[in-house]
Each structure stands twice: as C-alpha cells, then as structure tokens.
Structure 1
C-alpha cells in the first residue's frame, strides 16, 4: 500500500528482511504496535476476527473462545464433544484393555501436537468454520488445511436427544459425521454439480471420526506409580480455524480482513522470519491489531526493543545470498539502462492516463 501508513509498515518490516535496523527505528516500531492493541476480542465479534499466534499451545483454547463468540452473535446452539482415546495393539501382542476413565482424562490433557493436531474436544454450531486436518477427497475440496464451514451434524444412533437445557449440548458419543462445505476458492463442478446447494455455496461432503497417529503418554499405575501407554486419539479431523500460527498464513494477504496478531516475545525468543511474515501480511500499519501489549513499563520496553533487534540478525548464508542478489540486481540495471528508462516512461504514462480518467 502506497499510503503513509503502508510505507511506514514497509520500512519497519524491512528491518527483518535484510534492511539496516537501528535502535531508534525499532523503538518506534514497538511504540507504534503498542498503539494497535485491542481492548477485548468480543468487541470485534461482528468483524469475525481471526488470531495468528507464534506457538501452537494456546491455539485451541483461543479458537474455542472465538467460535463461541460467533455462535452467540448468530444465535446458534453450541454442541460439544470429547475425543476418544484407545490403546494401540502392538504387533504380536494381545489386545490391550480399554483405557480407564483416569487414563482417558490424562490423555485429554496431552498436547494436540502429539496427535498430529487432532483436538481433545470439538465445539460446533451450524455455520462454524474449521480447517481440515486430512486430505480425504481432493476432488470434493477435502484437502489438508482447506477452510470449511459446518452445515450439518449426524449424531451417533445411541445419542440421547438434546433437551435444550444449559448453554450447550454436550454429546455422550462421538458424532457419526459432520457435514461441511468449502468456504471459498473451490468449485467441484465435475463431482458435486448435481447437489441442490451447489449453485449457491458449492457441494458439501462428510467428515467422519478417525484415529490419529499414535503417541506415548504417561498414566498412573498401581504398582509402579506411572506407566507408559501407546494410544491414539479418535476425533473428527476438523482443526482450529479462528486461531492459527504464522506458518499457516505464509503467502496470505490479510487485506481488509480482521486479523489479530500476537507479537509478544515467546519463551523461546522471537524468530526473524515470524516477525517478517506477520508484519508483511497486513496492508498498512493502521490495519494491524495486536492481541496484547509488547511492553507496559519503561524497563520492559527497553528489553523488548533489544529482543526485537536481536531477531533482525540474518543467518550468515542468507546474508551472503542477499548481498549477491543486490550486486546482480545492480549489474542488471547498469546493463539495461535504456530498457529501464523506457519502462519508467511507460509507467508514468499509464499512471497519468489512469489519473485523468
């Protein structure tokens, strides 16, 4: 964006892309970002906010809160269910007994990443959005990381009906299937063209519970205190949509969408590529919304400035590659001076014509 706010953001971002950083410029960036901190996520509900984080651990909790806010805004009935956990039968051994209630409770607390991001619980309402964890039917749009919208729930045949009490319906069993359809960017006209809703919203398809990759977990044991068990998590492969990581948004432009970023320094320190990716997804500095302040005291501000400065340092190989590219770019410009001058005149002519019309 060529606006003053867009140019300022570009100048700040170049410090993490090979530009020369200074302490004064970095302090100006920290101050500018601190002015973009939101007061409360619920204030942005009408804008359907999404949050981009640097770590996976907080994602699911934050995603659940954002999903609940959208359900309340739309007056939709929330439904929730827990994943199941089953022991893995090792080759040549007898079938393992089912996990006890305590062992399942322990398994519920294991990080989602251990089970290939299969979540320990799922919150649902008709219209809720998710990212697909598997590629099960590419022709229908069921590809890993595709964004989908829930449009139906098929409960287990043993599931008692919803009594309508309480803030949500807690299922006793995993659902038999969830119906979803691609949000955008996919039109499977050769596969699902005959579906009744294809003309308006594209075709829907089912997503069913499946076991995750196995993981070792530590559970209580009577004789030894603890024991290790190899288990799988079973749930519908619908991942978090409203809270994602910087890895997920690479190559994406936020444009006018409401994205809230968390740029606070994580325990492991900032990564240069992470800061660069997050800053360059936004159109202008004024489009940035920050989840929480980077600093709240003068001493903390000084520390954060130094941590951001440390994150601008390029790896030696990358720095050498950038120097090589700069030299080649300069040599190319010197070799083709007439062509570059002709291109500049064409650009000026087109800009003038567009302004007058």
Structure 2
C-alpha cells in the first residue's frame, strides 16, 4: 500500500470534531466517501505483560506504526472524507503483567493514535475492547467482567464516544440523506444455557435503534457494528431480534462489520423481500491492505474490493 508523509498539528483534530460531531457536514456533495477497516487489535508496551500472554500476541504489538501511517496517508490516496473502524480497536482493555497485576492504559494510547488522523475516525467497540486477560492453571483466562469500566474509559477518552458507545451520524449527499448507525455489540461472554443470540444488543440500545430507523421516511440507513448479523457461511436466523428489526425497514441497505477476520459479502432478504447487504473486511491487524472504500451517491452505494478503489459491488438506492 502506498504511504505518503504529512506534517500534522493535533489541534486540527479538536476543530474537526467541534464542526462534525454536532451536526451534518456543511456541504452536500454528490459523493461521500469513507474507508472501512476493522480489527486493528493494537497493543501498546507489550513487554510490560506476562510472557505467557504476551508472546502469542507479538504480531499485534507491531501494528501501531502501520495504523499511524494509514491514518496519515489514507485521505490522500483514496480521497476519503472519514474513516470507520468496526471494533477490536485494541486487543484487550487490561492484561496481567509480569508482576501478576492487572494493567490497562491501552484505550488512552489508542486515542493518541487517533489524534494523528488527518480525517475524522468513527469507531465501534468489539469484544476485545472490553476484555481482560489473566493467567490461571497454566492457561489464558478471558473475561468481560470489566465491560462497565472499559466502556466508561472509552467514553471518558472522547472522540466519537463522547455521548456514548452507540450513536449515529447523518449526511446529505445531493438529494439523498444517509444515516450511519454505529452499534455496540461488543459483549459476547454468555453461557450456553443462557440462550442469548449473537450479536447481542441490549434492550435500551434496541429501543434506540428502532427510533433511529423510524426517524425519517426518506433516509437510507447503514449499520456499522463489530460482530456481524451472522457469520459468512451461516444462514440468516429470522428469530434474531436485530435481524428481524432491520429486515422490517427497506431503507436499511447495508451492514458493515468485522470480527471473523475475513472479507466477505452476502445478502439477506426479509419475508417482504427487503434486501440487506452485509460487508465484512478482513482484520487490519493482519495486514494494512485490508481496507475498503465506500462511496455514497444519490442513487447507489459503491463498495470496493479489499485494498483497492475499484468497486466490488453496487447497491442501488430506490
């Protein structure tokens, strides 16, 4: 991937957020372009942590600089207006150290990396972003019991989570209105007997999502989330509450997700034959060519092949 160098003053980032987070873009272009990446899995200062936990994750410890370079060059090489990252931003919220204590600070470090971007970055949380790793009885123990503290830290560190870990953005593209809905489906640590469908969206968020879908009769909705509605090779489950809700609205055109560390495209159809296209992008933590360019126009959504700007698919807008 071609990399370009830029000089950057962090104060610009605060100005951009002041303009962009409070409302729509001022202009109404005939095309709005953004990049989709997922599963960056950044790890900072890996040498602080217990070796049994750290050594298998050394490849993620080398991901900081590639992401920084991507944030600096992406807007120039693709002419994108902003960047989206659908979860697993970091590899863990906290992990056991060499002296057997739990230590975090990953969120703060990630936020500093985001400050270097030349365009706004909108993110969703993934299961790793609210997870803790420890070592017991000779094996890694993964827990999401820290989810409350982790989410509080994500909100405290600002950026797109200033008003909470799920939110929406509205953009005018010519005569069309696009509503981008960013969901928090990060929690996935359920026991088999609980019979919880994944992706898991809690009730308050489901009510909020329904209100977003009903906000306007004229907008087109794009949902961004970490865990996809269903994995690439599994059938859609009509009993899934999230799937059944989105399928009721023909204006819901696309879901962007990650989680499975593979690139995939598939369509879902409701009983009323409403089509939703789900697009997954392979983990950026596995290679800096794992990105897609999404272009929104008045009559179609264009989605590129991974690592390229030419379109892999078109989604027509009625």
TM range (shorter): under 0.3
Q: Which has the higher strand share?
A: 2
TM-score (norm. length: structure 1): 0.23
Larger Rg: 1
Q: Which has the higher contact order (CA 8 A, sep 6+)?
A: 1
Q: Which has the higher helix share?
A: 1
